[in-house]
Structure 1
């Protein structure tokens, strides 16, 4: 399959754009996009934010405007670049409303620093992409895969909207969790995915083993477990990795917490070492770009117990295909499913795997 025929890359399009290019949003995503603009010689004309966030301040040398001020200055023939991420329904509604009124793109930049998904990236990885696509178990997964490629190339919101499903669909039809799950939660944050598990099992489980490296998130996780959970619970303030070691970790809470060259020294654990052969029936990983290493550290658990898998597949540009190949190499019996849940950009795109 020639994936490059699916859509035009957004970056050459932006380089050739003659209309004013205005950024919607501030923060880490806007920083990454503006750095890419600088590398490619793309010039932003203005930055705007939702009205409630406009306080007469500046961002990266731009005064932050309201949308109506941008329209007053440039008219409606502008190209809007969405430069932040959200899953909140009211924010998504606002993004899609902008898309109906203006020419809007949301250029894909990886959550973790690394290669951008552009034409060169596709050419370099087309063989892996074809192999991963061929492994997918259902038509919905194949649609999500192709729409993910289309979105990452073009930045057009229509591809995210066309391929999204809510989590009920995959939990009810693919994962089908039961009341006796032995749950390993890597990147447990504040207990949100433990609550998700309990929602689908009627509050029942056999055991929970949870790793969370961020100290503030771990405090919230511990408080939640102490107040709400009883039974076989193991919590560790540690990150998930391929081996037991100590690494520097940017301990900033949420999506800014990840392995880094600088930061707080943090204990890292391989799941195989934590469980030491104990059963696991459901394994979730959302470890901010360390999924490849965490899978290597869980290889024996996966081969021995074949747990249902729920893997974040969006932190790096190639996660949505490379993780599928890695899981298949660990256990070829897995049936692989790709789903995108409501989010702009293509975050909350997850790989699910179950054995027959």
Structure 2
């Protein structure tokens, strides 16, 4: 795999580090990183947060500090481990400033599923990675694929900055929406993707079918539809899955609500069942790690109608090669494009198929 540039994983680097290691951020991402630290014998020295979030509290046994306090205590020769995700421009700029001033890494921990995206994982799936890379339909997609893999190995955010593109490029050059779309949105959240699509069609469409499992998100979606949509719209309070069933769901009322061992029993639906053979010209899936299952539940729709697809491709370690393979199995004629939109770490990596 000639596109692999990195030969040392971020975890190996941190194991060998003798400088102070400062975690930037708190929450689920930091918890996951600290669990890997414990497993690999990596010692964190401190935790800091953005100044506006420092209130004299503690996290994981550390008193949460300001960066200025960390520098006063340890100096500037430290390693900063970024442990939360953001797409907000002001935070991205802060990340870039920290990267220029310090040695900063953003270790990749999966949003869903287990394991680590390290060199062992890459080598174990070398043939699958190479096949997926070779399927990419343009040079930009191949560059994104390479940069995302190298970022996930190394934690170096320069790779993410190098392969960022704006969503406008996707809509205008790849998806090319028109005013007669039959749009299916799995993981519709509050209607944000519907609004985004309709901004390119002057509000015109033939039909919209939207699935959203979270109760509070579904209320927001329903309110948006009542206030802004006037055509054929079907809203379903359910998650996208391979079949119609009930699964346990962690209701967080946010974009990252996901399947869990404990939570609320939630209706799941296959798109094939919901549509019942009705046409679909464009399909978006962002179902927090259930993309493989949701695609299985949409395979008849895909095989029959060949919709253009927008599939989140960053929740699980295997998504980069597994999801392209599944689409090619359903319909070998699909042209596949990978794009990364501004986000640190490697979230908002999407597979587009036309």
TM-score range, shorter chain: over 0.9
Contact 1:250 1:256 (C-alpha < 8 Å) held by counterparts:
no
1:213 maps to which residue? 213
1:134 maps to which residue? 134
Residue-by-residue CA offset, 1:37-71 (whole Å, 9 max, x unaligned): 01101000000011000000011111000000000
Q: Distance in 2 between matches of 1:255 and 1:12?
A: 32
CA displacement at 1:2 relative to structure 2: 5.2
Q: Distance in 2 between matches of 1:32 and 1:52?
A: 23
Q: Distance in 2 between matches of 1:4 and 1:141?
A: 15
Q: Distance in 2 between matches of 1:331 and 1:253?
A: 35
1:27 maps to which residue? 27
State the TM-score, normalizing by the size of structure 2: 0.99
Q: Distance in 2 between matches of 1:116 and 1:31?
A: 14
Q: Distance in 2 between matches of 1:280 and 1:36?
A: 42
2:96 maps to which residue? 96
- Asked if 1:222 corresponds to 2:219, the answer is no
Query: 1:1-356 alignment to 2 at 5 Å?
Result: 1=1, 5-354=5-354
Indicate the SS of the match to 1:217: helix
Q: Distance in 1 between matches of 2:295 and 2:13?
A: 37
Residue-by-residue CA offset, 1:294-321 (whole Å, 9 max, x unaligned): 0000000000000000000000112122
Contact 2:4 2:146 (C-alpha < 8 Å) held by counterparts:
no
CA displacement at 1:113 relative to structure 2: 3.3
Q: How many residues align?
A: 354
Contact 1:3 1:126 (C-alpha < 8 Å) held by counterparts:
no
Residue-by-residue CA offset, 1:7-44 (whole Å, 9 max, x unaligned): 42100100000000000001111011011101101000
Contact 2:137 2:335 (C-alpha < 8 Å) held by counterparts:
yes
Q: Distance in 2 between matches of 1:36 and 1:28?
A: 13
Indicate the SS of the match to 1:147: helix
CA displacement at 1:6 relative to structure 2: 3.2
Residue-by-residue CA offset, 1:132-155 (whole Å, 9 max, x unaligned): 011110000000000001100000
RMSD: 0.9
Indicate the SS of the match to 1:200: coil
Q: Distance in 1 between matches of 2:124 and 2:296?
A: 24
Contact 1:181 1:282 (C-alpha < 8 Å) held by counterparts:
yes
CA displacement at 1:256 relative to structure 2: 4.0
State the TM-score, normalizing by the size of structure 1: 0.98
Residue-by-residue CA offset, 1:239-290 (whole Å, 9 max, x unaligned): 0000001111111122441111211111100000000100000000000000
Which region of structure 1 is more displaced relative to structure 2, 303-312 or 6-15?
Answer: 6-15
Q: Distance in 1 between matches of 2:207 and 2:91?
A: 36
